[in-house]
Amino acid sequence: MTEPPAPAEATRRTLVRVTGARLVLAVGALGVALGFIGVGRPEAEAAERGLYGVLAAGFLVTALLAGALPFVRRLGAFGALQLALDVALVTALVHFSGGADSIFGFLYLPIPLYGAILFERRGAYGSATLASGGYGLALATAERAGTRALFGGPLAGTPLSALWVMQTAALLLVALLGTALARELRIAGERLAESATDLQRLRDLHERTVESLTSGILTTDLAGRVRSFNPEAERITGLSAREAIGRDVDEVLPGARELTMGRKPAAAGRPRARMPFRDRRGQERRLGLSGSILRSAQGEPDGHVVIFQDVSDVVRMEAELRRSERLAATGQLAANMAHEIRNPLAAISGSLEMLRDGAARGVDDAQRRRLFDIALREVERLDHLIADFLEFARPAAAEPAALAVAPVVEDVVKIFEAARPPGVAIESAVPAECAVLADSRQLRQVLWNLVLNAAQAMPHGGRIRVSAARLEEPPQGPDAQRRNARDGEGRCVEIAIEDGGTGMPPEVLERVFEPFFTTKRDGSGLGLPTVHRIVENHGGSISLESRPGGGTTVRVRLPDAGRSA
């Protein structure tokens, strides 16, 4: 967009338009002269020659003024000269075409309008006054010279004073209207100039913003062909904007069409994904992409916007962080495991020492059996601890398949009913259409562990409720989010296990998924961590809501098996 014109340039353009209008009027007057004037009036030859001379002078003056305009510096004086020349030419035209009977008197009327456009109020009324004097002069000179009308005028026989008054009134009216019009045009022009300036600033800001972003941005049409390409996109891809524009988006960013245009929008908004990318220099990168619909001013889809960043360093840091977290977790796990093993080993060691020392002192058979029972019990405890640990550390490979939730919950409820503690009741409310992608055996293990935990949280009895519902959003865990970003999942089934037990304080709630953390006297602290591990391996998430004395609700979210239907 160009800058709004300066005042001098605007005045110059107005003068060009006035010159063009003068030329049009001169051509019109010539046409009238050629078509009508002097027809059948031989005595009017002298007036005809004068009329054609005036028209020729008008064309000549127009040509000279147009040629001189580009070189004029004092545009105001030049405009005033044009108005004066226009009045002189029209006055001569009226004089030679019959004075009071001339049909060219109307040519005075545009002059105040030109004056208003060039100089607003003072120009309008000044040129109207000048035109009124010119018309009076034409009437007087034509009357004195006895100029004959070249053909009968529409006001023939009207007194000259009346003609002059009517013409002057018309000129003043045109001046008034022209002043109002010029003022409105000036105000509209100023507003337009302000709007043009604001629009230019906004456009410059937009361009500078897009060019300064540290993210690559490209836009495409509805067919997926690139229409714009910012400097950061050039840096990341190694392609110039000229090379990228017009090509298919998959030629510029292979795989971007499917990841950002060929998928349903994510629940949180625009689809996001990561993908490998080899730039023009052959360097391997990892790109993070997001896409959205580009809409027209009318709100209709007009293309796509793809925003991408080079996240190679972020991916490397994430890998390092996960490796560090695994090492830290392994160290903590080993320390906890050693602590858990030390207690049974101490009991076994103490029992064996007492047996050894008692053999010399003649320990009776009853005491010997008691010591052997202690040792066997602790060995069994070690066996259970190691089995639970192996199940947590290396859970069996999951074989997920479309699985209806209701039958699984019904089986778990039936098994629980056969061995439920006194005072504990269980109920379920699972819609038949709820289905998940899960391993049947592992889902039963998850639900069984959670139902048992709920029962143990109600030592004085209470009610357990198992429910399920389909949600229009993905699971929320970190592993679930990575899988959702990769596969485009958009729905889940939430299974909720609610109890009316003692609840948990916040400091306990924060640690329930830590291995070997337990508040139970005989617990291993691996039940909930194992459940957490299984759920995340299925691409799901698990969360707890609890408060002391207010019961606990466990929510397990698993991918919906019906989402692709």
Q: Residue 206: inside a domain, yes or no?
A: no
Structure tokens at 563: 């989402």
**What is the rounded distance in angstroms from the CA atom of residue 288 to the CA atom of residue 294?**
19
Burial (CB count within 10 angstroms: exposed 0-12, middle 13-18, buried 19+), residue 544? middle
> What is the phi/psi pair of residue 382, to 5°?
-60, -40
Number of domains the chain contains: 4
Q: Are 355 and 437 part of one and the same domain?
A: no
Q: Residue 327: inside a domain, yes or no?
A: yes
Q: Residue 565: inside a domain, yes or no?
A: no
pLDDT for the residue numbered 555: 92
Q: What is the CATH number of the domain that holds 497?
A: 3.30.565.10
Please say which residue of 345, 376, 393 terminates a domain: 393
Q: Are 239 and 344 part of one and the same domain?
A: no
Please say which residue of 337, 362, 393 terminates a domain: 393
Q: What is the CATH number of the domain that holds 241?
A: 3.30.450.20
Nearest one of 410, 411, 408, 406 to 434, comparing CA atoms = 406
Q: Are 56 and 123 part of one and the same domain?
A: yes
Nearest one of 534, 366, 376 to 450, comparing CA atoms = 534
Coil/strand/helix, residue 171:
helix
Q: Are 550 and 405 part of one and the same domain?
A: yes
Q: Residue 169: inside a domain, yes or no?
A: yes
pLDDT for the residue numbered 370: 77
Question: In this structure, are residues 287 and 309 in contact, taking their beta carbons and an 8 Å threshold?
Answer: yes
Strand residue runs (E) in 191-238: 216-220, 226-229
Which DSSP category does 247 fall into?
A: S
Q: Residue 200: inside a domain, yes or no?
A: no
How many Cα atoms are found within 13 Å in the side-chain-facing hemisphere of 68?
Answer: 14
Question: In this structure, are residues 150 and 137 in contact, taking their beta carbons and an 8 Å threshold?
Answer: no
Q: Residue 242: inside a domain, yes or no?
A: yes
Q: Are 241 and 185 part of one and the same domain?
A: no
Coil/strand/helix, residue 378:
helix
Q: Where does residue 462 fall: left (phi above 0), alpha (psi -120 to 50 degrees), or beta otherwise?
A: left
Q: Are 487 and 515 part of one and the same domain?
A: yes
Structure tokens at 256: 């971007």
pLDDT for the residue numbered 314: 85
Q: Are 184 and 251 part of one and the same domain?
A: no
Element (H, E) at 334: helix 312-361
Q: Are 52 and 132 part of one and the same domain?
A: yes
Give Rg (Cα) of the chain.
Answer: 48
DSSP symbols for 279-314: -TT--EEEEEEEEEEEE-TTS-EEEEEEEEEE-HHH
Q: Residue 91: inside a domain, yes or no?
A: yes
How many Cα atoms are found within 13 Å in the side-chain-facing hemisphere of 242?
Answer: 0
pLDDT for the residue numbered 482: 46
Question: In this structure, are residues 388 and 524 in contact, taking their beta carbons and an 8 Å threshold?
Answer: yes
Rounded to whole angstroms, what are the CA distances from 349 to 312, 352, 353, 365, 371? 54, 5, 6, 19, 10
pLDDT for the residue numbered 338: 67
**What is the rounded distance in angstroms from the CA atom of residue 10 to the CA atom of residue 20?**
15
Residues of the chain with pLDDT under 50: 1-5, 39-42, 148, 150-154, 264-269, 480-489, 564-565
Q: What is the CATH number of the domain that holds 366?
A: 1.10.287.130
Q: Which domain holds residue 377?
A: 322-393
Our measurement of the distance from residue 46's CA atom to the centroid of its chain's CA atoms, rounded to an integer in Å, reads: 78
Contacts of 7 (CB under 8 A, 6+ apart): none
Contacts of 473 (CB under 8 A, 6+ apart): 267, 490, 491, 492
Q: Residue 317: inside a domain, yes or no?
A: no
Q: Are 183 and 244 part of one and the same domain?
A: no
Q: Are 380 and 409 part of one and the same domain?
A: no
**What is the rounded distance in angstroms from the CA atom of residue 5 to the CA atom of residue 31?**
37
Q: Are 292 and 235 part of one and the same domain?
A: yes
**What is the rounded distance in angstroms from the CA atom of residue 329 to the CA atom of residue 334?**
8
Q: Are 26 and 133 part of one and the same domain?
A: yes
Please say which residue of 132, 163, 195 terminates a domain: 195
- Average pLDDT across the chain, whole number: 77
Our measurement of the distance from residue 278's CA atom to the centroid of its chain's CA atoms, rounded to an integer in Å, reads: 28
**What is the rounded distance in angstroms from the CA atom of residue 536 to the CA atom of residue 541?**
6
